Chains A and B, each alone.
Chain A
Amino acid sequence: MNRKVYIRAAAQISVQEPLCEDWMLHPRQLSGSFLHCIDPDYKQFFSPMQARRMGLMFKRAMVTSRKVLEASGVECPDAIITGTAFGCIENTERFLDPLCRGGEETLSPTAFMQSTHNTIGSMVAITLGCHGYNCTYSQDGVSFESTLLDAVLQLECGGAENVLAGVHDEITDNVARLMEANESAGYPLSEGSVAMLLAAGDGVPDALCEVSDVRILSRPEAVEEAVAGYRAEYVMRNDVTFSLFGRCGSASGLAVYAAAEMIAAGRYSSVLVVNESGSNAGFVFLKIV
């Protein structure tokens, strides 16, 4: 019998008011073709030397991660698992642009180093001095579900007692234009970061909710049958998710954060977050503790 897994704490920086849940009473209405996050003032979190290599996305990852660790009273998690659909786009462009324009001689090693997808997760580990299990997933819109699934596996049978899981994505002008040209609008493109502290056990009293199931289904024809099988009190689909957070790689993570908060507030006893992303569908089934 696998151990139960819980979300103890969650924090976000997104197109809604960051690092709080007040926005849930009156969510910002989204408009426009693409939106950046509402960022807190990062000077309160980092010295100039600490911040020097951190683009906005890294800062968001560090701040949200620290927040959930503090809220849970955990100094160093047993595992750090990270998801990102597109990785560090800003740094990728910083390296790719001069490369394509013919400047192979004076390319920035920092930009290259910071452009690999696992930079976020490893930077968090370096900052915390965490030697535990560390992995990064990049599967477009279901990057969060991949991350969460691995977190659950680490808690069920990997020997971890707590896991820091996060999904982080950013958007730049160039990428926004390219993505818009490929997909019809409806909801603005956006960016976002969310971190969660997950724990396992027989009962975690201060938990927001239980993570009853997480899966990625790569058979589009089987999605509706799967949805029905969960018998959730509330099914949260992409139309709701995107209207709250815009379209970004981290959207389903933000949806799970919102669902967890709703369950903790007594709104629902169970929520199924369904995320159809191309040929893959993510399912995260949360239940009241």
Chain B
Amino acid sequence: MEELILELKNKILEALKLEDMTPEDIDEDAPLFKDGLGLDSIDALELMLLLEKNYGIKLKSPAEGKEIFQSVRTMAGYVAANRVK
């Protein structure tokens, strides 16, 4: 799981173009949206793309993503349980 969390952090940094940030800058239990990293609705769409491209998981709408994208850890848990790739 720790490996997947690190992998996800790197992919998030890449997908959201967070150059000059490292995985150490992201707390896997901190909220991704609103507080914490402060991502927005467009970032949510990018995260959905990330899941599809890398793990074959296709979410139907941003609403579905709300629970999953609460933190990097919740994302990792969902990926581990549902990945197709």
Nearest A residue (CB) for B48: A109
Interface string of A183-218 (1 = CB under 8 A from B): 000000000000000000000000000000000000
CB atoms of B53 and A106 under 8 A apart: yes
Comparing A47-55, A255-263, A274-282, the segment that makes contact with chain B is A47-55
Measured between beta carbons, the chain B residues less than 8 angstroms from A43 are 20
CB atoms of A53 and B20 under 8 A apart: no
Measured between beta carbons, the chain B residues less than 8 angstroms from A108 are 46, 49
Q: Separation in Å of the B40 CB from the closest CB of chain A?
A: 10
Measured between beta carbons, the chain B residues less than 8 angstroms from A52 are 16-19
CB atoms of A113 and B42 under 8 A apart: yes
Measured between beta carbons, the chain A residues less than 8 angstroms from B18 are 48-49, 52
Q: Is A33 an interface residue (CB 8 A)?
A: no
Measured between beta carbons, the chain A residues less than 8 angstroms from B42 are 109-110, 113
Number of B interface residues at 8 Å Cβ cutoff, please give it: 15
Number of A-B contacts (CB under 8 A): 32
Contact of B19 among A48, A105, A109, A110 (CB under 8 A): A48
Interface residues of A in 41-88 (CB under 8 A from B): 43, 48-49, 51-53
Q: Separation in Å of the A285 CB from the closest CB of chain B?
A: 42
Q: Separation in Å of the B26 CB from the closest CB of chain A?
A: 11
Measured between beta carbons, the chain B residues less than 8 angstroms from A109 are 42, 45-46, 49
A110 and B17 alpha carbons, distance in the complex (Å) = 10
Measured between beta carbons, the chain A residues less than 8 angstroms from B37 are 49
B→A interface (CB under 8 Å): 16-21, 25, 37-38, 42, 45-46, 49, 52-53
Taking A108-B46, A108-B49, A109-B49 as known contacts, 16 extra A-B pairs with beta carbons closer than 8 A to each other, sorted by chain A number, are A48-B18, A48-B19, A48-B20, A48-B25, A49-B18, A49-B37, A51-B19, A52-B16, A52-B18, A53-B17, A105-B52, A106-B49, A106-B53, A109-B45, A110-B45, A110-B46
Which 3 pairs across A and B sit closest by C-beta, in order of nearness?
A48-B20, A109-B45, A48-B21
Q: What are 13 contact pairs spanning A and B, CB under 8 A?
A: A48-B18, A48-B20, A51-B20, A52-B16, A106-B49, A106-B53, A108-B46, A108-B49, A109-B45, A109-B49, A110-B42, A110-B45, A113-B42
